[in-house]
Structure 1
Amino acid sequence: MSPTHSPKHSRTKKYAHHTQNYVNEFSLEFLDESHIEAFEKALAKDPEEDDLEHISAISDFMPIRQKVKRKKPKVPSGFEGISYHIVRFPMMLIIFIIITIELLLYFLVRQIVNLWEYFVQWRGKKYFLREKLRQTTTYEEWVDSAKKLDNYFNYDEWKGEIPFGYYNFNLIQKVNRDLINLKSGPNENPARLKSVLLDCVKNNFAGVENVRLYSQTYYVTEALDHLRTTKSLSNEEKRRLFKYTHKNYGRTALCLSGGAVFGYYHLGVVKALFDADALPTVLTGTSAGALIAALVGVRKDFELSQVLKPELSSRLTACAEGFPGWFIRWWRTGARFDAVDWARKIQWVTKGSLTFREAYERTGRILNISVIPYDPHSPSKVLNYITAPDCVIWSAVIASAAVPGILKPVVLMQKSKNGNLVPYNYGHKWKDGSLRTDIPTQPLHMHFNVKSTIVSQMNPHVHLFFYAPRGSIGRPVSHRLGRGWRGGFLLASVEQYLKLDLSKWLKWIRDLELLPNIADQNWSSIWLQKFDGNVTIWPKSNIWDFLYILTDPTWERLSQMIRVGQRATWPKLHMIANRLRIERAIQKGRAALRREERKRHNKNRNWDNHSNGGTIQNIQNEDSTHTNLILVLTKTDSDSGNSIGDIRESVGLDERSSLTDSTIDTSTSSSSDSESVMTPEEGQDLL
């Protein structure tokens, strides 16, 4: 239960001095009424309408605007056959009765397990130790309490068992020995070391990423650092090594689920990761998770350290409207909330009308937001700086929260070159992405090579069915040294059977299209998505949260949610940090090699311009971890033929940026120690 990893200091404290030099985030305003007016105008326009007059004629010789009679189809387009319409509803009724009975049995089994654990397993001293663990307020306190529980249950004994059944001990021991011997000493062999790393730097190599282990990865990162600096390998060999290891090992993404007011528990998850310097660069959010992901994705570290506090409640006012107002709107339009009102209130969260590209260039974080089109036959879409670079983030957040009955589908907005907002994708409307794709693992893997996901799951309809019969990270089974089954093997078997059988009936309803559309939406897939990840964090909500499911959090409730989210994340920090340590070592090696390549290229370019009578001054931004170079042509001979465009091309500057603005601000980004902030074009090259 107790991890060996502990952050040296809180990053919130680290950036505390920045608040004295910068304006308080909560006092800033970003509202631009012209952008809100453009959004309101786009919502009012029907995307199916256009300015062209459609005319028809029977033939070229007949007058225009001639009415053409069309034959009515003999069979309606939506007709599925006689047997379908006869059997559909009786079959659905029978299935719903079976599902209801199985649900009652499922919750009965769960309550029996809870009562058995409460009255039998957790008694005496271990009960008080667990309560102390649950009441901790800092990570250091949690580690201390977790160690006491480990000692009481003798949970450390499994670490002395060699081999242990959940990973290949002999293979790990051999790899560790080779990494040490090949790195230095008489057996030093960089070529062989490179081969070993290519074999072992992969997902869950030898089972070391098993959620039941706390694996150590120090030797791998040390070997990667050694190969990055060794002179025995050429730069081209190093480049291929780090490219292949990056492709094999992949990246980690933080995925924030939907969940209405439950989504504010994500703030505690983000804060725990941020304080431990374990916040991934790739972020994705859906519905309520999109709001939190946007809050993080547009802010640098010192800004983020200011807002991850209960004082944030003063800026979360989307549900402030009283009962008469929202009820009248719901009665007239079928939606409780007004999209234009939300657009005004969300401006502070997204720092105004930042686009996905602008947010990436500003912070280095890769923000992704899931939405689905209003058209039920079109596929879902994940918006980011690659798929929708000019799309405005606040419009994507609102679209991702557009649940039928809560908010009507909205138009996405994009920023034009002159800074004005115009409708995105011809003004078609979009809605809540969690209805189909709560955790978009496939697009993340395709665009950003994401092979490991940290999922903060707060959907209430999913929380009810979360059950770990063999325990979870930080919450092992309380008997048989953590290797038993919660409630015993028989109850665990019944629980698994009922859950799988419920899933079977739900798939039957979906595949046979038995469930009719409600509010123009097919709801049959809402329980059949993938809701977990390699590491899944389940902040423990309580039943009283349902009373506030569509209300703004107070200072007290938000403070409690942040604490609960932190406590749920602390047990996972060690496993997350182990993986990120390797990822950052790979990224550090790739960034260093890219800098060396640029320096060599710029030196050659400098020599060529000297030989042609011109001089180039290299201005290096020493504060940036990416060491961006701005090349300024100070003198060019009329016969040299070296234009500003040639210089842009030689260093890979975007044609839309100016030479004086090409350096990207990378100060205090969440990955500034390991990954370089770069332009989207450079990011694609690195991927």
Structure 2
Amino acid sequence: MAILLSVVPSHSPIFWSCVGVYADVVKLLSPSKRLQKLAEEIARYSRRPPETPEQALIRRMNEAQTLAEYESCTIDLDHLQGHEAWKEEKDSIEPGYNPDVIENQVVRLRSAVIERDTAALHHLLRTGLSRDLGGMNSLRLYKHSWFGTKKLIDEYINTVLEAIDMFSETSSGNDIPTIEVRRSQQSLEDALKFFGRSALTLSGGALLGMKHVGVVKTLWEAELLPEIISGASAGSIVAAIVGSSTDERMVEVLDRFPFSDLAVFDPPGTGRLGWLKQRVYTVLRTGAFFEMENLKRVMKDWLGDITFREAHYKTGRVVNICVSSAGSAEPRLLNFVTAPDVFIWSAVCASCAVPGVFSPANIYEKDPLTKEEKLWMQNAKQTFVDGSLDHDIPMRKLSEMFNVNFFIVSQVNPHVRLFLDHEENFRGKQPGAPVPFRTPFQAAKEVLREEIIHRAQQFADLGIPQGLYRWASLFNQQYTGDINILPDIQGSEYLNMMMNPTSEFMLRATVAGERATWPRMCRIKNCVAIELALIQAIHRLRDRVNFGPEARAAREQKRSSSRGRPGRGRSARPSFLRRRSLSIESPVSGENGLVPPVPLRVRRNVSLGNISMKPTFSITTPRTTPYLSPQVGIEQDILADALVMTSAQSETLSGTAGTDSQPS
């Protein structure tokens, strides 16, 4: 029997039949009642009903190692359960969803692209782009299937992306007058300003914040990582490292994370007895639990002495670090606009200074003349603490400064996760009503949260010291965005939140972040692709104005080498990210990730007649919808324009503050 079990595969029915027989024998012959009970359980398990195709797909989905594997399993599940039919249908029960508006825009854009009508595209791109056109950004539209949403929405996104590509190509030709190129560039900049920007915000959470690495890894490999990245507390560590790394170094950085020195709490190799002695000594000397020097050493090793301005010029990304004033509830958002010469490592140390865990920290900057380190704002008494205390997710400030109106939030704060639900997860059953049902458990959590906020306000009114009730602000913030990524947290991980991460934990945390991001990738693509395509097109037109043909070709080759290459993901590219050609003359399959057009279906619409809907391409850079207030005033316009200025313009306008360089 033992030989047979060692030869037969574990997934074979023969294997489990043998296990059942073996368990029955043990049950009959064993004198121990405990062993008999165990054998009975094993025998019952071995005779369980065979796995259905649906169960097999769900198991494979939960065990998927890559986004491509996950996509394949979920699409098969949608076919098996009939959800693909819902995707093909035009209408839906969701309130606010208007497919006719989306279809009309697809027809107009496709007509302009096929006819290569740049005048029509000029008007459509400048005035007709919207993240929530026809209500297509509704979360409920992504709760009817395991992966993806209405095909009509995919067609709209892909048609817009093709239109942007065609417009920038035809407007950047060598025979086009420079004044016309500038006009086209201005049109795209206006379109981007109206469309808005997206931001990735990484929450605090001590050791749990390392799960953000998996979130960033998934978005970067899919080429959907927003240029604006914000982090608070532990999230600031990941935001700072990723935001100051070029695309050429990103693979190295992501590979280094699990095996690098991240001993931010204690020196490497500290034993249990040494840990206890160090805690007593540190508390008696500083009043805090840990030394800031360990965190400072780790961040300097990762970042060096790079400043916010230097990181922005180097990568084109906008790093934002949240800090709070130690003496008052005055939140600050540090970036290349508000603190251009501040060392990023210094801002991260201040953002991680949780009261009682680390001592309040000073912030340091680089002297513009001597390049020496000095106190920021020349005030040694001004200290800062954990940014999560006052604004874990700085939506308002990002909206005001950079016209951000769409937020992707990776949330791992333990006190926040208690009150959050996995609202975007699909459970295999489509909604049967247009209004979601609120469970009693959800209502109870909301009542508890409101009660905590109410009691904290009473303490403030009674004159209780600020340090006691300020912690209640942790419950009185906006912790969610437009898309919320909630990595799974194991119960044992709560006990080790203040311990140095091991390589094994970092690998598990990265996988947890990736798996939490996969179910939201279709919505992220549909919300971010248009924005990133507009930014790329603006860069192309600015190169046409500022550089000659050879220099433009070199810069375009450099950008292309970091986009869409197999080495970025190092695995099969998911089909929803592959581009399909909209034009009649399609490229050869396989070149640059492009695939030829598939046969078109005809959709009947009473107002439009028979319309041939051509599949387009799935882009490598997604975009978002307006959600907050738009930019107002000249100062905000200047800040938005600064985000897309090229290095050539920086050289031309040397000495002018706020100029931006093109990302590498």
1:365 matched to 2:317? The reply is yes
- Paired residue secondary structure (1:436): helix
CA contact (8 A) 1:404 1:519 kept: no
Corresponding position of 1:294: 240
Summarize deviations over 1:464-523 as a string: whole Å, max 9, x none: 12114xx51xx31333x355799x94xx34234323323432342344425844756611
2:112 and 2:654 mapped to 1: Cα distance? 47
Corresponding position of 1:415: 366
1:298 and 1:485 mapped to 2: Cα distance? 44
Q: Evaluate the alpha carbon distance shift between residue 573 and residue 411 of structure 1 in structure 2; reply closer, same or farther with a 3 A threshold.
A: same
The one of 153, 171, 179 equivalent to 2:101 is 171
Q: Where do 1:33-112 residues align within 5 Å?
A: none
Q: Evaluate the alpha carbon distance shift between residue 464 and residue 131 of structure 1 in structure 2; reply closer, same or farther with a 3 A threshold.
A: farther
- Paired residue secondary structure (1:531): coil
1:341 matched to 2:294? The reply is yes
CA contact (8 A) 2:199 2:408 kept: yes
2:318 and 2:648 mapped to 1: Cα distance? 26
Q: Evaluate the alpha carbon distance shift between residue 626 and residue 514 of structure 1 in structure 2; reply closer, same or farther with a 3 A threshold.
A: farther
The one of 435, 454, 463 equivalent to 2:408 is 454
The one of 624, 628, 650 equivalent to 2:555 is 624
What do you get for the CA RMSD once the two structures are aligned? 3.2
Q: Evaluate the alpha carbon distance shift between residue 626 and residue 421 of structure 1 in structure 2; reply closer, same or farther with a 3 A threshold.
A: farther
CA contact (8 A) 2:258 2:507 kept: no
Q: Where do 1:233-312 residues align within 5 Å?
A: 234-309=180-255, 312=258
Corresponding position of 1:548: 496
Corresponding position of 1:445: 399
1:534 matched to 2:485? The reply is no
TM-score by length of 1: 0.66
1:196 matched to 2:118? The reply is no
Q: Evaluate the alpha carbon distance shift between residue 315 and residue 341 of structure 1 in structure 2; reply closer, same or farther with a 3 A threshold.
A: closer
Give the superposition deviation at 1:226.
2.7
Residue 103 of structure 2 aligns with an amino acid whose one-letter code is Q
1:578 and 1:324 mapped to 2: Cα distance? 53
CA contact (8 A) 1:595 1:626 kept: no
The one of 325, 342, 346 equivalent to 1:391 is 342
1:650 and 1:408 mapped to 2: Cα distance? 43
The one of 575, 581, 590 equivalent to 2:523 is 575
Aligned residues: 494
Give the superposition deviation at 1:133.
1.6
Q: Where do 1:450-599 residues align within 5 Å?
A: 450-468=404-422, 471-472=423-424, 475-479=425-429, 481-483=430-432, 489=437, 492-512=438-458, 513=460, 516-517=464-465, 519=467, 522-598=470-546
CA contact (8 A) 2:93 2:433 kept: no
User: 259-268 vs 294-303, which deviates more?
Assistant: 294-303
Structure (1 or 2) with the larger CA radius of gyration: 1
Q: Evaluate the alpha carbon distance shift between residue 189 and residue 274 of structure 1 in structure 2; reply closer, same or farther with a 3 A threshold.
A: closer
Q: Evaluate the alpha carbon distance shift between residue 146 and residue 482 of structure 1 in structure 2; reply closer, same or farther with a 3 A threshold.
A: farther
Summarize deviations over 1:52-72 as a string: whole Å, max 9, x none: xxxxxxxxxxxxxxxxxxxxx
Summarize deviations over 1:320-376 as a string: whole Å, max 9, x none: 3522112321244321111233212321222x1111111112222211100011121
The one of 165, 168, 184 equivalent to 1:228 is 168
Corresponding position of 2:642: none
Give the superposition deviation at 1:158.
1.6
CA contact (8 A) 1:202 1:245 kept: no
- Paired residue secondary structure (1:624): helix
Return 5+ residue gaps in structure 1 as ranges. 1-122, 601-617, 629-648, 658-678
CA contact (8 A) 1:281 1:366 kept: yes
Give the superposition deviation at 1:619.
9.8
- Paired residue secondary structure (1:201): coil
- Paired residue secondary structure (1:371): strand
- Paired residue secondary structure (1:370): strand
CA contact (8 A) 2:544 2:552 kept: no
Give the superposition deviation at 1:247.
0.8
Corresponding position of 1:137: 65
2:298 and 2:73 mapped to 1: Cα distance? 41
Residue 412 of structure 2 aligns with an amino acid whose one-letter code is M
2:249 and 2:547 mapped to 1: Cα distance? 32
Residue 160 of structure 2 aligns with an amino acid whose one-letter code is V
CA contact (8 A) 1:405 1:519 kept: no
CA contact (8 A) 1:452 1:533 kept: yes
1:182 and 1:620 mapped to 2: Cα distance? 31
- Paired residue secondary structure (2:555): coil
1:680 and 1:556 mapped to 2: Cα distance? 45
CA contact (8 A) 1:386 1:680 kept: no
2:257 and 2:121 mapped to 1: Cα distance? 51
User: 429-438 vs 145-154, which deviates more?
Assistant: 145-154
Residue 653 of structure 1 aligns with an amino acid whose one-letter code is E
1:337 and 1:387 mapped to 2: Cα distance? 29
2:66 and 2:427 mapped to 1: Cα distance? 24
- Paired residue secondary structure (1:181): helix
Residue 366 of structure 2 aligns with an amino acid whose one-letter code is K
Give the superposition deviation at 1:250.
1.4
User: 494-503 vs 331-340, which deviates more?
Assistant: 494-503
The one of 346, 355, 362 equivalent to 1:404 is 355
Summarize deviations over 1:195-231 as a string: whole Å, max 9, x none: 3333431231212222334331111112222333446
1:622 and 1:180 mapped to 2: Cα distance? 28
2:420 and 2:434 mapped to 1: Cα distance? 15
- Paired residue secondary structure (2:452): helix
The one of 299, 305, 308 equivalent to 1:353 is 305
Residue 195 of structure 2 aligns with an amino acid whose one-letter code is Y
CA contact (8 A) 1:310 1:555 kept: no
Residue 439 of structure 1 aligns with an amino acid whose one-letter code is I
CA contact (8 A) 1:294 1:349 kept: no
CA contact (8 A) 1:252 1:451 kept: yes
1:654 and 1:423 mapped to 2: Cα distance? 31
- Paired residue secondary structure (2:470): coil
TM-score by length of 2: 0.68
1:326 and 1:466 mapped to 2: Cα distance? 33
CA contact (8 A) 2:125 2:188 kept: no
1:317 matched to 2:271? The reply is no
Residue 390 of structure 2 aligns with an amino acid whose one-letter code is R
Q: Evaluate the alpha carbon distance shift between residue 653 and residue 310 of structure 1 in structure 2; reply closer, same or farther with a 3 A threshold.
A: closer
Corresponding position of 1:683: 660
1:337 and 1:654 mapped to 2: Cα distance? 48
Give the superposition deviation at 1:270.
1.0
Q: Evaluate the alpha carbon distance shift between residue 547 and residue 485 of structure 1 in structure 2; reply closer, same or farther with a 3 A threshold.
A: farther
CA contact (8 A) 2:312 2:661 kept: no
2:301 and 2:85 mapped to 1: Cα distance? 51
- Paired residue secondary structure (2:263): coil
Corresponding position of 1:149: 77
Q: Evaluate the alpha carbon distance shift between residue 558 and residue 653 of structure 1 in structure 2; reply closer, same or farther with a 3 A threshold.
A: same
CA contact (8 A) 2:650 2:660 kept: no
Give the superposition deviation at 1:536.
0.8
2:293 and 2:515 mapped to 1: Cα distance? 36
Q: Evaluate the alpha carbon distance shift between residue 527 and residue 267 of structure 1 in structure 2; reply closer, same or farther with a 3 A threshold.
A: same
Return 5+ residue gaps in structure 2 as ranges. 1-50, 143-148, 560-646
Residue 182 of structure 1 aligns with an amino acid whose one-letter code is A
